[in-house]
Structure 1
């Protein structure tokens, strides 16, 4: 029995083994190449998905930056409009304040002179004024009238001063608002420049990602073409009678080896 099996094995080694290994190695090699290519295709597909995910995130960032730029431009526009309005009010009120200041200065000078004259009159009561000094009651009445007039003048001056101070405070407040608006506009301009710079960076990154995706897609297409070529080659090898026979012999040999018992 052992000699019989040894005889079959010897025949296989002498006549069938060379052609079997030749075709079997070729077939196995091509199958391994196909597996490697399929793994590389899977890797490229995964890379493409990752790049697509990154590109979507960058595109979302670009949209957000563009929206922020629009909002920033609107803030700058509104700020400039408000600044122009405040500057117009300041110029208008400054002119009015200057006129009031001149009027107050002139009024103060006149009122000061009147004060001085009336105070002298109230104290001295000169006889050259048209008062009836023959009776004491007339003299007292004149003094009361002049002091009442003094009080009216003081109230007038106080009102002018109060009005002047209110306008001055209003101008100071508008100046503060103007300074704050200018500061805000500078901040908006600075932020816009930052957004523009960031938008440029994101745009460059998006272009790089698109180029990389294009390369990955092209490489994947090439690998798929190679895989299809290998599949056709393997199918062709399987359909060839000599290779088919070799594969059948390989299968029969494996079955025979399994049936061998010590």
Structure 2
């Protein structure tokens, strides 16, 4: 199992999306857990998955097709249960995805055009392969207009926007998310509420379980005698979860999950991209 965590510079792009080094989940977890432990009591971190210089989170690190909702919810469950200040970049709250423009002329980013000039116009790179790589890693993926509704230009403007709107705005937009009880937007609101009501999600101790697990990220938060257990499936396959010995016999309350149904803390199989957070009582 590998987690998509690539170099951010197009200089490394050879036109193939798989040319980026894909990092095993244990390697990524080691970095994240190190930040949580070594910065505790010494510094305050900024927690984010994307910004205006990164592609969309769900397309880069999750599954923007079959599991778009589940994977986006899982990724932000992690962000909201770590010490630091979490940031939700515009469009992430509805799960906006990367855009696959048909032509290089549809992109605005100077880095993209410099790369194109060097490798296609002045070089011998395959334009189709390079365009495929750009669609995957372009900074313009996070710069398309906000998708408010299903009207022209996604309700963003009656004029001409600086970039074309992502064609999927008919299905992915704020208006649709507000009417869908299972939307990413509503889940984000619940996540923020949960974090505000449970300071254990924010401060003090962090303990990771099963650091070599290639599918699950399991960790415990501790603050003022409160304990929280977070279980995240970073894969699109079912994953076996074994309850930590330290949590056996504890009475728990389910705080949030991105799947309906199971509330009890026990050994079980997690669904693809499932996220669960329990509070010890």
Fold in common (TM above 0.5): no
Query: Structure 1-normalised TM-score?
Result: 0.18
Answer with 1 or 2: which has the greater Rg. Answer: 1
Where relative contact order (Cα < 8 A, 6+ residues apart) is larger, the structure is 1
With normalisation by structure 2, the TM-score equals 0.17
Which is strand-richer, 1 or 2?
Answer: 2
Structure 1 or 2: larger helix share?
A: 1
